Structure 1
Amino acid sequence: MPLIDMPLDRLRNYEGRNPRPADFDAYWERALQEMRETDAQWELVASDFQVPYADCYHLYFTGTGGARIHAKYVRPKHASEPHPAVLHFHGYSHYSGDWSDKLAWALAGFSVLALDCRGQGGLSEDKGGVKGTTHRGHIIRGLDDHPDRLLFRDIFLDTAKLAGIAMSLPEVDGDRVGVFGASQGGGLALACAALEPRIRRVAASVPFLCDYKRVWEMDLARDAYEELRIYFRHHDPLHVREDEIFERLGYIDVQHLVDRIRGDTLMGVGLLDTVCPPSSQFAAYNKIRSDKKLAIYPDYVHERLPGFEDEAIRFLADM
């Protein structure tokens, strides 16, 4: 088998390289308190796109910092009530996608809530206002400001806020809410389930936002992680602050959050992935303490993993 990372036996025991800040738990408790104190003021607006078997809405809510956040909401017309719901999270710099790719889930009896990450390709608002660089990318957004201004802190909180809204919907069984996503969406699915431990099941494929220092040391700070190299080249060319930077990135490193997950977890990984290398993904998977299962695709890179979404629907339907 070709090898672009550690052998599989080492991957199964790998614990990650990026440091975990000493005040990590206090950081996220403070963040969650801010999220809880933010009035969601959520509303539904009917979409122009409609089909006979589902109702399609734009859902808007207020996230931390006062940003108005958007998600697509697809509700099956003939599902039993209350019924399960699944939150969908999209890839980096993308958006919540077409209405049509939610319909298979609606036909399977799920309500679907698909988030637009703030500042990326969808309708969610980006309030901005951080000090220092915002050049190309959200990993480094806020890196020169207070750690509470890291943009992914707020994106992670948006996922948890949306989960709470989903659980409050009268047509949804709040005890049967799951999350699904790939790449950035996979990382956000894990982060959401960590910050909202009532999430019942997690299906995450090739997750992004894990073990930044390992990605750097493998010389893979390109593609989705390119902004790490750009940051050092433009703002710390002698790497005087390297240790500080990676420790600060530890606040938004998904591997440090996942031990909070209580829901059953299904994760997919491609062993030839050079965008989110396998070791970075295993760093997260190996720290999950709830019941978990890993689907390993030896010949796949950072791409859609065949059969994984079908398995995810079956897995989440069994909540």
Structure 2
Amino acid sequence: MNSRRTFIKNVGIAAAGAIVLPSFACTPAKAKPVGLQLYTLREVIGKDVKGVIEQVAKAGYKEVETYGYSAQGGYWGLDAKAFKSLLDANGLKAPSGHFGLDPFIKDGNQDDLKINIEGAKGIGMDYLTVPWLGENLRSSLDDYKKVAARLNEAAEICKKSGLTLAYHNHDFEFKKYDGGTGYEVMLQETDKDNVKFEMDLYWVVRSGNDPVALFNKYPGRFPMWHVKDMDKAKPSINTEVGSGSIDFKSIFKHAKQAGLKHAIVEQENFSMDPFISIKKSFDHVNHDLI
């Protein structure tokens, strides 16, 4: 958790299988692909982006979610065109990417937002996803109301470029202020048609909340999920999907209510080779959850 937060702060950015919704339950072909958040492989992707992408595809994944894009470095040293070509060569799509939005949320400066939009459009994304909020932006419910207003503004700008804005949670959004939480403020005060949410199931469960209750209260707002399992002995760390304590089968039954379109594996720490790990998670989601 700390390494992720530190990384996001320093770099300025910062599961899972895609599932077959109930209406597809009896079809032999899988209606949804399985995705991987590439932050999972952050220790190796910068050293060999081509080799890592090839390994992700060999593990069975059909989608990836990016992080860390910048105008200077592109996607791990590749510009958007070259990275898209690499994905295409491996039968992969990138429907979403994580792009930091703190400068815009703080003062409305659109410079970084426009750069991020260009990066997202360059590889054919559908969603520009906000992965994190700096601590200085979220110390009260009033702060979250300001965040929600900025998200609405950013969503309108994204919409003009053919993108949908989404927000990815951690656990801090569930801190209570006078009985309310920042997460509910954002859900209630953002345009339900323009602002979507990428629910990180691990963080929702770890914070003591129920994903299904949120799906029922805010139907259709959660087209993306991070499917990340919780270690049974040490809840502060992750484990391979299907090996931990989260009851994904019960959650996945409510995919239609949530509006799920993309389920994306993510794991932040490993007790085995990361490529073996992502294959185990893929196999569980692909064979047991869809």
Q: The TM-score by the shorter chain falls in which range? A: 0.3 to 0.5
Higher strand proportion = 1
Q: Of the two, which has the highest radius of gyration? A: 1
